Each structure stands twice: as structure tokens, then as C-alpha cells.
Structure 1
Amino acid sequence: MSREPFPEVSVPRQPPRARLRSTAAVFTTLSALAATSLITGPSAAEPFFSVPCALKRTAAHHSEGLDTWNAAYPRPARTLDAVMIFLSFPDWTPLSSPDDIAADHFPATSDFFHRASYGRFTLRAHPLRQWIRMPKPSTAYAIRRDWSVEQRTAYLRDALTAADRQVDFSRYDIVYFVADPDAPGVDSDATKVVNLDQPLRADDTDIRRIVTVFERHPPDRLVLAHETGHVFDLPDLYHRPVDGKGDWDTYVGDWDLMGSQFGLAPDLFAWHKWKLGWLGTHQVACVSARKASRLTLEPLGAGPDVPGAGASGSPAFGLGNGTKLAVVRTGTDSAVAFEARGPLGNDRSACRSGILVYRVHSGEASGRGPVEVIDAHPDTEDCWENSVYPPLADAPVALGERFTVPGEDVRVEVDGRTPTGSWTVKITPG
């Protein structure tokens, strides 16, 4: 399972070496430091967006600010290569082949990102064809959700050392360590991204983060896409109850993969697509807080090669380069966003169609509510049989409705639909 309780734990590294075969002593020596070393983002940043409603990136883990790109993360605006390394253990003989397990995740993960990015990003997987044997039994690593730093360090140390004999890390942008799902010590709840406080060095290449996969076979739907989102600096959008009981999905419900990979409408928010470079500034409307604005918003899932239904059942081909996101700036680190959602692309199972409204806070860390969907129908719920959180399943503002955003004194009215399926809206400040 991909839900992570806290920001990913950082693991210190050895001084730069040509290869990783001498990592063991350094991991052992520095493992105590990892317990308190958390990534807040390096000072190096690439200029990105400089429009009025682009919130500034803060020191919060996976900040939703997008005026700059955090240069510690690969930017998914080109083809990226990912190696899948399959780890077996001496206490168990694998029941599945690496090919079988690779097929659990690909091409589904690549397809998700292709649709989400409107073809602007390609994730190319390179799965190994053989198991790589770990030196210890699976039970020796005590794999679990809230893994101790020392035990996780030992696992990474052994995995990196074993894999370095067969993998040229200089060829890859992303590293997936995939454990034998049937081994007795493997806990599917432990799947997560491990960030490195300082990069490991292998084959003259910095390795800044590793995706550790412990999923069942077959796995949770889109779980690897969720974890890969962290590799691109996207935050967790779910809420972990203090006692571990209750609803996890109260922040965003079904409406973004980083909230739940089980969501009915798991396409990434337009804000995230803007952050990742998949939407241009010409596709974002910064709405004045002083006067009303009339806009036409294209469905988030519509792209030049995405089939779907327009307002009267017509194909949605030809859409994809118009306005996808409207933003009202509400503070130095906050904004309200508006986007059109419906059963297109990654959202083909969406419960309701309409204008989804949500708050963005660039100062809130991953897992602490950096995005919150605002429910336009707080007294009702829908799709209770398969929604991850039915109270938010009917959150969008529907055709012919008007809705005032609580606490912000901003009103949105959904006036109509165009023949191609876009939504016409009026956004009015207080």
C-alpha cells in the first residue's frame, strides 16, 4: 500500500565512489543520522513560472509552490528511463517471474502518465529479466509500514550492493527495487519512496531516491504511478488518522492519484499538471480578486488524442490546448483553483461531472493537507458503493449551479457547455 505516514525518511550516503560495493560500512556508521534527517528541498532551483497566481515554493516537503522547480527531482517533461530490479531472498523460492510482476505495473503506469501529460511525458520501463538474490532471509529485514531507519538502511545497503553487480545506474533516471511479493517477510503496506539526504554515487551517477516496492501480485491499482508521483516532487494528499482508524481520504477523496490510487477520478489535479510542466501558462487563467471573469474551461482529461464525449455526445478530439485551470490567489501561500472534471482519460470512472473547486497551500507539507477539495454539495454524497470517500464524490459544481467558496467570498457559476464539451463559467469575487 502506498500511503506514507510521514515525509519519506532520508538515508545518508557514503562519500563519492566509482561503485557501490563498499556501501556497507558507511550505511552502518551513518544510519543513526537518518532518523532525524528529513529533506526540505535543496537551495538549487530552476526558474519556472512567474505569473501572479503561481504560489512560491516553500521549504515544506513536496511544496505545492511552483514558481521554481526543485532541481533535486527529475522533471517529467521528456522521456525518463526507469530500471526495475527484482529482489529475491534465500528463505523463499519466487512463485512468479520478473516478467509477470513487471506486467503488473507496465504499461499501466506509463499509460497513466501519457494520458495525464497529454503525451508530453514518456516513462520508459527497463525491467530486469532475472531475480537478484539478497544476502539475508526476507524476515531478517523486518519490513513493515513504519519501518525503523536501521532496518531500512540494511535493506537498501544489501539491495544496492547486490544490484550494482548487474546494473549500470548511469543509464536510468528512476530506480525501482521490487521485492518478491510472496516472500514471508514482505509486507505490502511498506511500499514507499525513500529519499536520500545526500545522493548515493554509482557509476558516476547520483541516486537521490529509490522506490521500494513490496506489493502483492497482482498489486493495488496504480500504486506504482502514485509512488512515481513522489519521484516528481508531488505530495501525499490523504490524511492519516492519528489512531490509524477512520477515513484517510477526507482531503481530496477520489480526485487525484496522490490522494488515492483507488479513486474513481485519479487524474492529477490541473495544479499538479501545471507544476510538472504539462500545462503552459497560456492554459492557466489568473482570476482577479477585484472583478468578475467569464471563462471557458476545457475538461481536464481532454487532449488532442483523447476520445470522449462532448456536451451532446460528440467526440472530444481537438481539445487539449485551451484553458484548463482558473486560479484566485487568496494569500501569500494560498489559492483557490477551479477545473472541469468528467469521465475522460484517466477520469473515465468519475462519479460526477462539473467544476471541481479546491484550495492549495504551498506551505503545507506532504500528508498535511496541501490540497483540499471543497464540497459544493456538503449535505449529500454519491457513488457510495465504489468511491473512496462518498461525501466528496459529488463535490463538483454542476451545470446550472452557483457556489460560494466558504471563507473566501468567491462565487463560481456554471453557465453552460460548448458543443465540444468545454464548460463556461463565471467567477466573481466578493
Structure 2
Amino acid sequence: MLRPSAFHEPHPEVISVPKLRSTAAVATTMSALAATSILTGPSAAEPFSTTACALHRTEAHHSEGVDAWNPAYTRPVGSLDAVLIFLSFPDATPHTTPDELTADHFPATSRFFQQASYGRFTLRPHPLKRWLRMPKPSTAYAMKRDWSETDRAAYLRDAFAAADRQVDFSRFGVVYLVADPDAPGVDSDATKVVNLDTPERLDGTDVRRVVTVFERHPPDRLVLAHETGHVFDLPDLYHRPTDGEGDWDTYVGDWDLMGSQFGLSPDLFAWHKWKLGWLDPRQVACVRGTSATRLTLEPLAAGPGVPVRSAAGAPAFGLGGGTKLAVVRTGPDSALAVEARGSAGNDRTACRQGILVYRVRGDVESGAGSVQVVDAHPRSQACWENSVYPPLADAPLALGESFTVPQDGVKVEAEGRTASGAWTVKITPELPG
């Protein structure tokens, strides 16, 4: 199934932008979470007190390593303020208003993160109320998907200059530059997160990355949530064909927002929720040894509406605070992840429910297959009329089914359901022979 091209970003997602001003970068420090790599021990599903299955963060762009947080990125825990700056051009009169364009993306973007984080993260938008005029016609910036560094730097330089007197950048952790969608030079394929080699110094703060938004009105569904995920160090999970033709969704299909904002089950993988700090260590189980291990997995997504909270007022975790992710270490930089996917919250339009298995690589670049869903039903497909990739739409194990992961020799069995809706799963890490 082909998708509109506005979503796809060139690989790699990082765009090096020449220095916009002569400024010195401010050093940023952040405490890292220590982890050790332990690949031996008794067969057991144990919490991550030993971090035995935590992949190391590598130099790969948007590495899926979870043993330490990359201090160059803001971690989305607590509240974060975002500014929306609306840019018009001399060669066009906007047909929309800033309020209309804000409504294209909010509250949908904030709601997505609120539900995905179980209430642990709130993104607060602060849109400007009027257009800011760029000094050059929209066509002068030569916007396109694989935008040249020179043209992109010129656009950013003029956008920062136009906004500097109107915006106190020190107040905001996320910056959205929203272009007039009806200007003749605006190309929706150019929507992207731009990482600055040299941070832009504005109002006493370093702006290290911005989201350049060139979406149509109305835009692609959840496109801004996807781009904001990059601001938090999440990788692209789609596969960009080298010739531009063919399927983009062969890696993860519908199963994560960073693969497709059109997905039927776009909630973030439990691995990403662990990486972002939305799962407690006790909610991640490391399956070790070679004997069979049984454990109970709660469905990944929180229910609809306001996230569930405990009696003490603290954020709860969907059906409770139980295990959301099981991990089997398969190599120095690889692991299998096992989670339960349902039809609630961000996954309310899911094609299939069940136990989803996927491979994770900590040493693979964004857009190169750092996560790949394992298809438990490789000879069938589902929801062909609205899935982004029907061959993976029925990837999860249904109740009573079992599957042995090719190459890794790990057997996963969906044995039962509890009264609360959690799944009882049996995992045998290494099958003999």
C-alpha cells in the first residue's frame, strides 16, 4: 500500500547545517545510567536490576541502546513547552490562520504522548497568534525532500531572524517552524527535524534542533508526533527503497509511530517507552538461560481518555504496574523484544491483538532497520484495505499459538489470558539442535 510521500525523510535523518552565527556551544551534561552486560545465569525472568539485557548505546544515529541516555537530546519526562512559529512569504497570502494550523496538530500530538507515556510526559504547545513574514519568496529557498544544506541554512537563518523579536527561545524545549502550506515553493516532502552542527544561540539558550513543518492543510495524521519523536532521539523505523519505489513499511508495518504515522497500531514499542523513561525497571523482564520461562505481560497501550492513576495520584500503567516488556539477549548489540498489543489508547484501531515479537539492534543507524518485527504468520496478511503493510498486520501471536523465531531459535507461546486481560507467555530462549 503506497502512502503519501510527505512523511518520508531521507536517510540518514541528521542534516548537517552550516554554522548560522558565530557562537560558542554551551556544554551539556547529564548523568548516564550505568549498565553491565551479563549473558549467563539461571533461567529466569527477572527485573532489570542487573540490566542484563539492556543494549549499549552506540555511536549509531538514534541508537536503540538503552543503558544510557544521549545528553544531546531532551528526555520527555515531566512537562515540556513547545513553540509553534508560523512563517509566511512575500509571494503568497495565507489561506489559513495560525489557529487552524495549530488545530491540525494539537491536541492530537499532545494526546498521543500523554497516552503513550501513561501520563509521565506532557507536551504543552504555545502557538504564535500571527504570521511572521520571511524576507524572500518561498520559491527562493528551493524546498524539497533532499534539501541542500545551503538552501536549508538560508531558510533557518531567515526564520530565526524573523522570530527572534517575537519569541523567547529560552522558554521552549521544542521549536516548530510552520510554513504557509499554500505558498508556491512549500514542499510537504521537506518536513523534517533538522539537527544543527553548531547550536543557534538565542535568548541565552542553545537551539540544537528544530522541526521544519511544510505539511498540507489538513496534514498527514500524527505526522508532528512522528517528527517530535526524533527530537527525543527515536529513529526512523521505515525502510526507504534505494530507487524510491516499493514498500516503505517492511521493517515494522503498523506497529510503531516511528515506522508510520498512518499505522493502525501506532503506539510506541515498549522498547522505546523503556528508552524514554516511561517504564519502570520492574516492568521490564530479562529472560535468561535456556529453560522455559513463564511470565505475565500486560497490554502495552493505556486505555482511552485520561491515563489511569493510582490512589496516591501517581501515574499508573494501563491495567496496572506489571510487566510490559520481556527481552531475550541474542548478541552484544542485539535482542528480541516481546510485548502484548491490544486495541486501546493509541492502538485502538489495531488490526490484530496478541503477542508481538521484534528484533532490536543497538548498532544500526536510523532508517536502516534498527527494529524489525518478526512475523508469526509469514504466509498470510490482514487488513489489506487500510494497513500500511498487510503482510505484517497479523504479525502477533494469537491466544493458544506458538512460534519459533527464525535464526534465533527462541520459542514464544501465547498460553493464556488473565481475568484483567493480561497475557500469559512462555518463552524458551534457546531450543536444542
Q: CA deviation at 1:321?
A: 1.0
Indicate if the aligned counterparts of 2:82 and 2:124 stay in contact, CA closer than 8 A: yes
Indicate if the aligned counterparts of 2:299 and 2:422 stay in contact, CA closer than 8 A: yes
Q: CA deviation at 1:197?
A: 1.3
SS of the equivalent of 2:31 reads strand
Indicate if the aligned counterparts of 1:221 and 1:262 stay in contact, CA closer than 8 A: yes
Equivalent AA in structure 2 for residue 3 of structure 1: H
Residues 106/133 of structure 1: CA separation in 2 closer, same or farther (3 Å cut): same
**Is 1:373–2:373 an aligned residue pair?**
yes
Pairing of 1:284-299 with structure 2 (within 5 A) = 284-299=284-299
Q: How many residues align?
A: 400
CA distance in 2, matches of 1:320, 1:66: 23
**Is 1:214–2:219 an aligned residue pair?**
no
Q: CA deviation at 1:304?
A: 9.9
Residues 17/95 of structure 1: CA separation in 2 closer, same or farther (3 Å cut): farther
CA distance in 2, matches of 1:104, 1:137: 24
Q: CA deviation at 1:11?
A: 1.5
2:22 to 15, 23, 44: 15
SS of the equivalent of 2:245 reads coil
Residue 156 of structure 1 corresponds to which residue in structure 2?
A: 156
Pairing of 1:28-67 with structure 2 (within 5 A) = 46-48=31-33, 50=35, 51-67=51-67
Residue 428 of structure 1 corresponds to which residue in structure 2?
A: 428
Equivalent AA in structure 1 for residue 32 of structure 2: P
Residues 350/306 of structure 1: CA separation in 2 closer, same or farther (3 Å cut): farther
CA distance in 1, matches of 2:240, 2:328: 28
Equivalent AA in structure 2 for residue 47 of structure 1: A
CA distance in 2, matches of 1:187, 1:289: 52
Aligned-CA RMSD value: 1.9
Equivalent AA in structure 2 for residue 76 of structure 1: P
Residue 143 of structure 2 corresponds to which residue in structure 1?
A: 143
Residue 325 of structure 1 corresponds to which residue in structure 2?
A: 325
Equivalent AA in structure 1 for residue 220 of structure 2: D
CA distance in 2, matches of 1:175, 1:119: 22
CA distance in 2, matches of 1:378, 1:44: 46
Residue 124 of structure 2 corresponds to which residue in structure 1?
A: 124
Residue 9 of structure 2 corresponds to which residue in structure 1?
A: 4
CA distance in 2, matches of 1:17, 1:114: 35
Indicate if the aligned counterparts of 1:46 and 1:70 stay in contact, CA closer than 8 A: no
Per-residue CA deviation, residues 59-88 of structure 1 (Å, 9 max, x unaligned), is 000000010000110110110000000000
**TM-score normalized with structure 2 length:** 0.90
Residue 230 of structure 1 corresponds to which residue in structure 2?
A: 230
Q: CA deviation at 1:10?
A: 1.8
Per-residue CA deviation, residues 190-240 of structure 1 (Å, 9 max, x unaligned), is 100000112111111010000000000000000000000000000000000
Indicate if the aligned counterparts of 1:303 and 1:320 stay in contact, CA closer than 8 A: no
Q: CA deviation at 1:2?
A: 2.7
Residue 36 of structure 1 corresponds to which residue in structure 2?
A: none
Which range moves more in the overlay, 4-13 or 58-67?
4-13
Pairing of 1:236-255 with structure 2 (within 5 A) = 236-255=236-255
CA distance in 2, matches of 1:410, 1:49: 28
**Is 1:84–2:91 an aligned residue pair?**
no
Q: CA deviation at 1:396?
A: 0.2
Residue 69 of structure 1 corresponds to which residue in structure 2?
A: 69
**Is 1:270–2:270 an aligned residue pair?**
yes
CA distance in 2, matches of 1:318, 1:188: 36
Residue 198 of structure 1 corresponds to which residue in structure 2?
A: 198
Equivalent AA in structure 1 for residue 286 of structure 2: C
CA distance in 1, matches of 2:18, 2:141: 18
**TM-score normalized with structure 1 length:** 0.90
Per-residue CA deviation, residues 389-421 of structure 1 (Å, 9 max, x unaligned), is 000000001100010010001101111001111
SS of the equivalent of 2:189 reads helix
Residue 260 of structure 1 corresponds to which residue in structure 2?
A: 260
Question: Looking at both structures, which has the greater relative contact order when contacts are Cα pairs under 8 Å and sequence separation is at least 6?
Answer: 2
Indicate if the aligned counterparts of 2:116 and 2:302 stay in contact, CA closer than 8 A: no
CA distance in 1, matches of 2:141, 2:305: 46
Residue 96 of structure 1 corresponds to which residue in structure 2?
A: 96
Equivalent AA in structure 1 for residue 334 of structure 2: S
CA distance in 1, matches of 2:69, 2:164: 30
Indicate if the aligned counterparts of 1:402 and 1:413 stay in contact, CA closer than 8 A: yes
CA distance in 2, matches of 1:207, 1:345: 33
CA distance in 2, matches of 1:146, 1:81: 29
> Percent of aligned positions with the same letter in both sequences?
72
Q: CA deviation at 1:317?
A: 9.3
Residue 334 of structure 1 corresponds to which residue in structure 2?
A: 334
